[in-house]
Homo-oligomer: A and B are copies of this chain.
Amino acid sequence: MVNQYHEDLLKKTEQQRHNTEVFFKKLRDRLCLIFEEIEDKSGHLYKDDKPGKFIQKKWKRLGGGGGLTSIMSGRVFEKVGVHISTVYGDSPKNVTSDENSKILNGKFWATGISVIAHPKNPHIPAVHFNTRMVMTDKYWFGGGADLTPVLEIRRTQEDQDTIEFHEAMEKSCHKHKIADYGKFKKWCDEYFYLKHRNEIRGVGGIFFDNLCSNNIDSDFLFIKSVGNNLIDVYPKIVFNNYEKEWTEENREEQLIRRGRYVEFNLLYDRGTKFGLSTGGNVESILSSLPPIVKWP
């Protein structure tokens, strides 16, 4: 089935789509470099463990496109994945990534980046970030970033990490017409919520979808801003905490808290469900799951 609106949109936005892909790739490179530098600099903390190095794997999508997974099992970052993909083809039927942004029967094109880091030290919060550009017969951007401290005592809105993260996300929305920080923050709190436990997953951040002001260039500036602010704030939060000593009890609490992360991702996360049900790359989708988890 040829969808003329879609074909026209793809042609018209060729340069912008290319720029978005390039930005995501460079962001991936910058993030991986920073994470590896942190690994290298932590020799005084983990004398017996070698610094981690990212391992990259290409994958192809049956229906069209593919991506590249970058996964590291390190000493500061027990597991971290930084993935990019560009996929296209026939829109999956009967599946929508969002009830508000139904993917039409027809063709789609999408490019995105996703990051999830599970540090070993229970004082360092886990972080999740992703942004994407989607085209059917219209375009939109979606994504977000949120922080998950794993120790109860650090899971507060008054914690320094939480404050810094929120400030960075607020800053990322600054001066961008399309970005309503208050709305995106609330959306994040509502989205990352475990109904069955009556618990939020982390301490929040921002979440957004269906962003389309009909000015791609302007909307894209916001998407860049989220990525740039994330890459600015998370390493700071890591450095704030990575020399802190932890106890067996802290580690146990972390492993149990990680179980909630798994529960959220498998029970509720739209991206996970969407990816798995549309033949996405299992390795990159489920690389969000923490390396070791306990349900005692």
Contact = CB atoms under 8 A, between A and B. Distances in A.
Contact of A286 (B287, B290, B294, B295): B295
A200 to B, nearest CB: 16
Contact of A267 (B195, B276, B295): B276
A262 B291 CA distance: 13
Contact of A295 (B195, B263, B291): B291
Interface residues of A, number: 26
A292 interface: yes
A43 to B, nearest CB: 23
Interface in A211-248: none
A75 B277 CA distance: 38
A195 B277 CA distance: 8
A296 B262 contact: no
Contacts of A195: 276
A197 interface: yes
Interface centre among A196, A197, A259 (most CB of B within 10 A): A196
A73 B287 CA distance: 29
B293 A295 contact: yes
A166 interface: no
A22 interface: no
Interface centre among A79, A277, A294 (most CB of B within 10 A): A294
Given A266-B262, A282-B197, A292 B291 contact: no
A287 B197 CA distance: 14
Contact of A294 (B197, B267, B292): B292
Contacts of A267: 266, 273, 276
A277 B195 CA distance: 8
A295 B272 CA distance: 15
A76 interface: no
Contacts of A293: 262, 292-295
Given A266-B267, A276-B267, A282-B196, A259 B294 contact: no
Nearest to A282: B196
Given A196-B276, A282-B196, A282-B197, A296 B263 contact: no
A203 interface: no
A125 to B, nearest CB: 19
A113 interface: no
A31 interface: no
A99 B296 CA distance: 33
B296 A73 contact: yes
A255 B287 CA distance: 16
Nearest to A272: B267
Interface of A: 73, 79, 195-197, 255, 259, 262-263, 266-267, 273, 276-277, 282, 285-287, 289-296
- 3 tightest CB-CB pairs across the interface, nearest first? A266-B266, A289-B295, A196-B276
Given A266-B267, A289-B295, A291-B295, 5 more contacts: A195-B276, A196-B285, A262-B293, A286-B295, A293-B294
